[in-house]
Amino acid sequence: MWKSTGKLADGREIIYFDESAGLGRAELPDRRDLSADTVPAHDQAAAEAELRWDRIVGEWVVIAAQRQDRTFLPPTDECPLCPSTPGRLTEIPAPGYDVVVFENRFPSLRGVVSGDIGLAPRTASGPARGPAFGRCEVVCFTSDHDASFASLTPRRVRTVVEAWADRTAVLGAAAGVAQVYCFENRGEEIGVTLHHPHGQIYAFPFITPRTQQMLAQARAHAAAGLGNLFDDLLAGELADGSRIVARNEHWIAFVPAAARWPYEVMLYPAVRAPDLPAVSEAARAGFGEVYLDVLGRLDALFGIRMPYIAAWHQAPGTDPFARREFGLHLQVISVRRAPGKLKYLAGTESGMGVWINDVTPEAAARSLREAR
């Protein structure tokens, strides 16, 4: 894997992850004039986007008004994620790429390069607002506009894993970054605005609510003398077996016992690691086999491209307990509960945080094992 870094016309970073050496892609200049129609990448943060503390529930919320005008379902011949051609300049100056990462043109969080302006820990009387500090990156999985993650080769998946691990390590080491989050939204049903196969990476200046909850549970588990929560969970799933969907030597995919979504699959490495950079070479190489199998089953389930969110849960970089005890995993959730029926987050979920799932986890696992 060959990594090279360049700059886009407005100063945003672009990073190529190539499967062949000597392509010189990062040296290609971005010939667009972006001075008029783009918010400069590294300023205006305070004026345009900010974090606000929701004091009633104790969580940060991102207010990012400038994103309302972001690119929305452009026709294929205007896709900004395809490689540039002589007649049409896109976000990627090169005429081709394997995997490419660049700073989002319409970011919710920005400013990582400008130094440590991360948030101080909140107290009851602490600040109610902060800069929308962090970074939002786009990861293009392939230059093929009509592909999907499920259609990638295992080799390409490996390159994507290397890109995720690289960004986790680089952004996680940046001053003021508390946590790095790699994810993919797939499908118009969940609001995807660009069809080209891509994911996103967020560098947060705070530890996210779900991660905080997981760390609190892991701490309570350890404090009760029960050992490691994530190891326990995985051992329990392996012993039970009824919710396992796919596995190989290095990864286990299962529907969680308390699944919230109609089709929800967790992928855990067989050997616990806090984050992607800590995963062994062998396990990185073995990931594609299991994940492509799971994605194929999700698409086969109803015979349609399944909308999904794929979320990498990684340890925050700064917490010694998390580095030692957190269990990296990929959570894949789908909002489709039947052909023609979506799972909506209505009154109980959105109002109270109580999930109601209409599909039993065991039935979901059985359906996925049989789908192919």
Kindly identify the residues of this chain, within the stretch 62-81, that bind its own copies according to CB under 8 A.
Answer: 62-65, 67-68, 72
* Shortest distance, position 4 Cβ to its own copies, whole Å: 27
- Which residues, numbered 194-253, are part of the site for its own copies (CB under 8 A)? 200, 202, 204, 208-211, 213-214, 216-217, 220-221, 223-224, 226, 229-230, 233
Active-site amino acid positions = 198
- Establish if 44 lies at the interface with its own copies (CB under 8 A): no
Cβ proximity to its own copies: between 2 and 183 the closer is 183
- Which residues, numbered 313-342, are part of the site for its own copies (CB under 8 A)? 313, 331, 333, 337-338, 341-342
* Shortest distance, position 117 Cβ to its own copies, whole Å: 18
- Establish if 352 lies at the interface with its own copies (CB under 8 A): yes
Cβ proximity to its own copies: between 208 and 248 the closer is 208
* Shortest distance, position 157 Cβ to its own copies, whole Å: 19
- Which residues, numbered 102-121, are part of the site for its own copies (CB under 8 A)? 108
Strand 133-140 and strand 110-111: pairing?
Answer: parallel
Contact yes or no for 345/296 (Cβ under 8 A):
no
Cβ proximity to its own copies: between 257 and 282 the closer is 257
CA distance 173 to 254: 32
Size of the site for its own copies (CB under 8 A): 81
Question: Which residue's structure tokens are 């490996």?
Answer: 158
- Establish if 354 lies at the interface with its own copies (CB under 8 A): yes
Q: 250 vs 124, 151, 259, 267, 268, CA distance in Å?
A: 44, 21, 23, 10, 9
* Shortest distance, position 53 Cβ to its own copies, whole Å: 6
Please compute Rg for the chain using Cα positions: 21
Among 5, 27, 127, 128, binds its own copies (CB under 8 A): 128
288: Cβ contacts below 8 Å, ≥ 6 apart: 152, 154, 155, 157, 158, 161
- Establish if 185 lies at the interface with its own copies (CB under 8 A): yes
- Which residues, numbered 260-319, are part of the site for its own copies (CB under 8 A)? 260, 309, 311, 313
CA distance 175 to 335: 36
CA distance 260 to 69: 32
Among 2, 28, 34, 183, binds its own copies (CB under 8 A): 183
240: Cβ contacts below 8 Å, ≥ 6 apart: none
Contact yes or no for 133/116 (Cβ under 8 A):
no
Strand 329-334 and strand 263-269: pairing?
Answer: antiparallel
- Establish if 7 lies at the interface with its own copies (CB under 8 A): no
Element (H, E) at 349: none
